[in-house]
Structure 1
Amino acid sequence: DRFRVQRETARANLYQSLVGEARAIRLARSAGYQAEAWQRLKLASEVETPERNLLQLRDEAVASLGDFVGQPPVTWPTFGANNYAVAYALVPQSELVAVGLTNGEVTFRKLATGEEVARHKHGDAGVFGLAFSADGKRMVTADDQGVASVWQRDSETWSKLHRFKTAASVQPGRVLANTVLLTPDGSQLLTSPMGTPAITLWSIEEGRSLIDFTGPNGELFFHAALSPDGALLVGVYRNIGAPGGFVVWDVRRHERLRSVPVTLETTLHIAFSPDGRFVSCGTVDGAVIFQTSDWERVLFTKGDVLYATAFSPKDSWLAQPSQTGKLLRIWDVATNREVTMLPHASDPLSSLFSADGEHVCAIAATVGQTWNLRGDATRKSLSGHTGYITQLAFHPAGHQLISTSRDNSIRFWDAESGSALGSQPGALIPSTCLSIAPDGHQFCTSDNRGEMQVWRLGESTLPTQIGQMPHGLGDYLWNSAFSSDGRVLAASGFQGVGVWRAKAASSPADSSDAPFEWIAKPTDALASSLSISSDGSLLAWVDSGAQVSVWDVTAGSRIALPTPISAYVPHGVAFLPNSRRFVVITESGQVHVWNVDSMSQPEFTSKSTPGQSPTGVNRNFRLSDDGRWLVIFGSTVTIWDMTKHEPLVSLPWSSSTVTSAAWSPDRRRLALGSSAGEVVIWEMDKIRSRLDSLGLAW
């Protein structure tokens, strides 16, 4: 018996040790950590001990999903023996990046994989400058000896249009020794050889120089950038022993606007954000961010020597390749926090985000590496909202997600790819609730002025307004809901609950032109959470005292409840499909199921409290369309299996609060929105598939 007890104790300790190691590896968040953490969980799952907890293992495994840092980078094929990368640029209207090499060639690579798709010969000297027109049909290459060539793409080949003779770089052999820029339409060229006092504007068609942009005091320029619209030119200068800075010119008016000191000894690089609102200066001490509206400094990110920086087109992220640290640092400019540090195989000198913001690469002299910012495809982040997410809803066909926010917009997303389809800015200011009719042709929204409107969803991206719904429910509506046949619509607000019925085809039009007619107001008191039964015969809501009320829509009367039923606002009650049963989360976080026809006690009470979290009790929830899964959200996210009456899995979340959730009709996707404006779609099938490799699938 003593040996048996020792064995069991050893196995229990081994299990807890392996789980603890997996958690520590995840929290340390070293690049590519997921494989190592999952290896520990796999071993833990094989330990025979009563301590083994399937839900604990599953939650720990899922906690690392969707995190791109947990995935290893893709390492590119090399550039060739004794051949080095010295220039780089995205190829517009493509998924390619072009890299200038010291052997005089340009290699075209897929940014996501580093796979080479083509090579182009510039000349015998190395390609130290590289740029493209906005349509990607013109390219300029430049060496460090003062030769710049403009090329026109014809199908897959590049034909030389003009050859320009510029000043030679004062620092030949350096990365970007000759900065070249093309105006967006490709008609003009700007050249800035490193260490020279002028940035020259050339007419490509005329083959001649137009003007030299110079500084007020004969500054020597080491790098330059053009705003996305081609209106502004900035040139970086250095002063030994004194602050460096940059000069700003109006390109079209050929006018110098101002000189901006960076107040650091050496400024190396400058880049515009994709929207042109900011510039980032790479220096010997980190990155300095300026806003272009007034050229005031807004941020300084302390770091390493930065020969380049790059803004993401999708997020507020700034990539900072560190040659001395052999890593790529990602910084969130909006929050002024470091997102992560990604170790690089060599000494990266440059970084580029893909046009869709889904990938970032860092290029060193001999090798490039790419990170997939989507992570492992189990999670998609939808960028666009800037304010609190009030409601989310999937189209009944499942192909589209609609979101409303306090940022005064309604947005439409492709549920498969996560890409933005369009927005309805300022339609309702701001939107507070959202519901979609079961046929997918109409949806209803309201705003904090109390206006309630019905919209028509057609084949086009943006909807058209059908009409406004008078209601008398106050200035703020919490929720609205359709019956499954679309014939009954209900809404709740500060001054009660309203019920509408779809107008018959012969009903006369009223001044609102809304397709529904008012039939009842079950209560005048504040009501938040709201749910309507599938057949539209029953309505349940939660009042300001967290008490549930039930209304018989057909009889037009309230159903007396022999026992008070407590719930929570604003997402605290939901009817199960095709039944007279509804779900609530209690004050303690338990799941209760009640039957309208037998209300003396709950039909089901969960033994555990899935609503409990380390920071309190989460009582907001969303039920899947088939009634099988329940997501409980707030400071944490837990999915509850309604058929097995047990927790299924917990999903990782950031520090912001989850404010809204929606299930796709087939339950394959779960969308979550937060108080910080985040919208995320979790792919439940892919999560299950990944867990299956550990033997932890549900």
Structure 2
Amino acid sequence: MRELQVYPPAKRKPIEVVRRLEFRANGAELVASCGLETVIKDGRTGFTNKLHVYDCVAGSARELFTDWLFYESSGERTPDPVISPNRELIAFEHFGYDDTSIFFEELAVTEADSRFYPSLLSCPHGAGGLVFTRDGAELIAVRNLVVHGRFVPDVVRFTIASLFNVLGTEEKINPLNGKPYQARIYDVRWQESLTLPPGERLVTASLSADDRLLAAGGAEGVLHVADLEQKKVLASFPWEGRKLRDRSAVRVEFSPDAKWVVMLANGRLFARPLSEGKAWQTKSTLGYAHDFAFHPAGRTLCAVFADGRARVLDALTGNVLQSLQWSKKPLYSVAFAPDGLTCAVGGQNGRVVVWDIDG
């Protein structure tokens, strides 16, 4: 076990938590999304987000990106920002005064190295999940469209190459100084894919390893699985937990072989087989889970809990195989290295612990 510090702690600084972890560069770097809970003027709660990269070889950290704000409330939730597989771009949603857009930024070491990218209109009620395909060629989005007062979500695609294809320029007036300038023209638009079952706002989504299947979780605990190649919905799983006030999906993930899909909601894991197998869910006696990740081999998954424990579960049964204790403070995020030999979990104040672990 070894502990990392993904950003320098400071005295009298509000506590930030490591909300998401992701290995990159074949495990040589660890990307950490760190957030500070805040309250917006209109009463919404959310997290400011900062992106840090820890060099696992050199043992140093750097900050890359600090510009987004994650909203989370009973009526609205923005999807987590996503990083392209080649680690060149980050895509995130932003709610404006009169529209909602998807923005793209380069993961440059300094802001001066970044270039401008056009934004992509989302929909008035926001996206229910953003996912890059494994080759980074497309961004998949679940949109929360509303028809006659009812949510009718759909799945759309965007070709990333469009961000680099300048069709021409047009003259515009800079509102700050009144001077004309030449604005670049891009062809940025969604390509329609399929419509998901109506009735519920969707809040999180993921793709299978081969990009064929999409899973989307809803604000009331529904879980949809769709085949993007055949453009049809394969299954819809209703909420099967207790009638709790907060049952919104936090995260959904496919097993590496795409035979299982797991949803995290209300601090519990709900696993559903897509072929053979028996559905399972974690018990409340394990405590409140904040995040989970499948081991690359697919036989186990690791979930992190509010009691400071990381528990390794059998992916087929949900039985606890191993329990690892870091501290009594909550753990918020977890990720496996691509080779499956290490597992990283995130806590408070930029602290991350890494365990050597078998699959």
Q: Tell whether 2:278 aligns with 1:278.
A: no
Which ranges in structure 1 are unaligned for 5 or more consecutive residues? 1-70, 171-176, 375-380, 384-698
Q: Residue in 1 aligned with 2:87?
A: 136
Measured at CA, do residues 192 and 114 of structure 1 come closer, stay the same or move farther in structure 2, by a change above 3 Å?
farther
Structure 2 counterparts to residues 41-52 of structure 1, below 5 A? none
**How far apart in 2 are the matches of 1:278 and 1:199?**
22
Q: Residue in 2 aligned with 1:202?
A: 157
Tell me how far 1:300 sits from its aligned partner. Answer: 2.8
Q: Tell whether 2:116 aligns with 1:163.
A: no
Match for 1:202: what amino acid?
A: R
**How far apart in 2 are the matches of 1:195 and 1:330?**
38
**How far apart in 2 are the matches of 1:163 and 1:245?**
30
Bigger relative contact order (CA 8 A; separation at least 6): 2
Answer whether contact 1:200 1:211 (CA < 8 A) is retained.
yes
For residue 129 of structure 1, give the secondary structure of its aligned residue in structure 2.
coil
Q: Residue in 2 aligned with 1:301?
A: 282
Q: Residue in 2 aligned with 1:76?
A: 5
Answer whether contact 1:89 1:132 (CA < 8 A) is retained.
no
For residue 200 of structure 2, give the secondary structure of its aligned residue in structure 1.
coil
**How far apart in 1 are the matches of 2:229 and 2:348?**
36
Answer whether contact 1:327 1:348 (CA < 8 A) is retained.
yes
Structure 2 counterparts to residues 5-404 of structure 1, below 5 A? 71=1, 73-78=2-7, 81-82=13-14, 83-91=16-24, 93-102=26-35, 105-110=50-55, 115-116=60-61, 118-121=62-65, 123=67, 125=69, 129-143=80-94, 146-151=100-105, 159-167=115-123, 179-192=129-142, 197=151, 198=153, 200-203=155-158, 204=160, 205=162, 206-211=187-192, 214-239=195-220, 244-265=221-242, 266=247, 267-284=249-266, 286-293=268-275, 297-302=278-283, 303-314=286-297, 316-323=299-306, 325-333=307-315, 336-344=319-327, 346-364=329-347, 366-373=349-356
Deviations 1:3-45 (A, max 9, x none): xxxxxxxxxxxxxxxxxxxxxxxxxxxxxxxxxxxxxxxxxxx
Tell me how far 1:291 sits from its aligned partner. Answer: 2.7
Q: Give TM-score scaled by structure 1 length.
A: 0.37
How many residue pairs get aligned? The number is 292
Tell me how far 1:362 sits from its aligned partner. Answer: 1.8
Which ranges in structure 2 are unaligned for 5 or more consecutive residues? 36-47, 72-78, 163-186
**How far apart in 1 are the matches of 2:327 and 2:269?**
19
For residue 309 of structure 1, give the secondary structure of its aligned residue in structure 2.
strand
Tell me how far 1:104 sits from its aligned partner. Answer: 5.2
Tell me how far 1:328 sits from its aligned partner. Answer: 1.8
Deviations 1:221-278 (A, max 9, x none): 1211111111111111243xxxx33111222343322212351242432112233232
**Percent identity between the aligned chains?**
15
Answer whether contact 1:182 1:189 (CA < 8 A) is retained.
yes
Match for 1:139: what amino acid?
A: I
Match for 1:133: what amino acid?
A: S
Answer whether contact 2:20 2:332 (CA < 8 A) is retained.
no
Measured at CA, do residues 310 and 155 of structure 1 come closer, stay the same or move farther in structure 2, by a change above 3 Å?
same
**How far apart in 2 are the matches of 1:366 and 1:143?**
26
- In proportion to residue count, which structure has more helix? 1
Tell me how far 1:208 sits from its aligned partner. Answer: 1.1
RMSD of aligned alpha carbons? 3.7
Match for 1:191: what amino acid?
A: A
**How far apart in 2 are the matches of 1:368 and 1:119?**
15
Structure 2 counterparts to residues 231-630 of structure 1, below 5 A? 231-239=212-220, 244-265=221-242, 266=247, 267-284=249-266, 286-293=268-275, 297-302=278-283, 303-314=286-297, 316-323=299-306, 325-333=307-315, 336-344=319-327, 346-364=329-347, 366-373=349-356
Tell me how far 1:86 sits from its aligned partner. Answer: 4.3
Answer whether contact 1:100 1:129 (CA < 8 A) is retained.
no
Deviations 1:534-556 (A, max 9, x none): xxxxxxxxxxxxxxxxxxxxxxx
